[in-house]
Copies of this chain bind each other. A is one copy, B any other.
Amino acid sequence: MKPAQQGLIPARHGSMALVDAGQSIRVINTHGQQVVDTWALCRGDPAEYLSMEHTRAGLSRLRPRVGDVLLTNRRRPILAITADTSPGVHDTLIAACDIYRYHGLGCTGYHRNCTDNFNEQLKQLGVPPRQPPCPLNLFMNIPWKADGSLEFAAPPCRPGDYIELRALMDCVMVFSACPQDMLPINGAECTPTDAHYSVMGA
């Protein structure tokens, strides 16, 4: 299928795609170690959006997988996972990074972050800055144990691994190639890299 739209998610920056119901979005981990924070908002009403806490309740699972339907905060289907060449390790638990996170890790001054990337993208649509919903953190490796403890680990992916999401309503997709370089969440080298997406017509 020929992509209708292709795009770069530049390292440490955000990107946005307008996607129609029925189209599919492929998100590509181009270099294999990049986490892509991902949001989907209903076009026309950004107060309705892909919600991790509603999706976990709907799926009865911590992590979605191929075949799953993801829900908005009004429990409407917004995305379906239709393919995944990666090992299927994605995260629904961890907030987007923000300036407070980097300051807590010892950074002084400004540090690019997924929260600001989200708002930078939405500003182009005239949406005022807001607390982003908890993102779907594609390729992010947060293993859990029986006692509930969590780890922050490197993605178990290979270059070119991708996940495919089919839009079940018209939506605005926002991506952020996570700027985290103080923890090994984007690989042991702590070096954010570009990722890519393509939108494939219905």
A residues lining the B interface (CB < 8 Å): 47, 51-54, 56-57, 60-63, 73-76, 93-95, 98, 100-101, 104, 131, 134, 144, 146, 148-152
B151 touches A53 (CB 8 A): no
Min CB–CB distance A130 → chain B (angstroms): 9
A and B contact pairs by CB, cutoff 8 A, 24 listed: A51-B95, A53-B94, A54-B95, A56-B150, A57-B94, A57-B95, A57-B101, A60-B149, A60-B150, A60-B151, A62-B93, A62-B144, A62-B148, A62-B150, A63-B148, A73-B131, A74-B98, A74-B100, A75-B98, A75-B101, A75-B104, A93-B93, A144-B144, A146-B146
Q: Is the CB of A53 within 8 A of B101?
A: no
Cα–Cα distance between A54 and B57 once the two chains are bound (Å)? 19
Chain B contacts of A149 at CB under 8 A? 60-62
Q: Is the CB of B56 within 8 A of A53?
A: no
Nearest Cβ on chain B to A198's Cβ, whole angstroms? 28
A197 CA / B148 CA spacing, docked (Å): 27
Known pairs A60-B149, A144-B148; list 15 more (Cβ under 8 Å).
A47-B131, A52-B53, A52-B134, A54-B95, A56-B93, A56-B94, A57-B101, A61-B150, A62-B144, A62-B148, A62-B149, A74-B98, A75-B98, A75-B101, A146-B146
What B residues does A95 contact at CB under 8 A?
A: 51, 53-54, 56-57, 73
**Complex Cα spacing A5 to B49, Å:** 38
B residues within 8 A CB of A60? Answer: 149-152
A191–B148 CA distance with the chains assembled, in angstroms = 29
The 10 closest A-B pairs by CB, nearest first: A53-B95, A62-B148, A75-B100, A53-B134, A54-B95, A60-B150, A63-B148, A57-B94, A61-B148, A56-B93
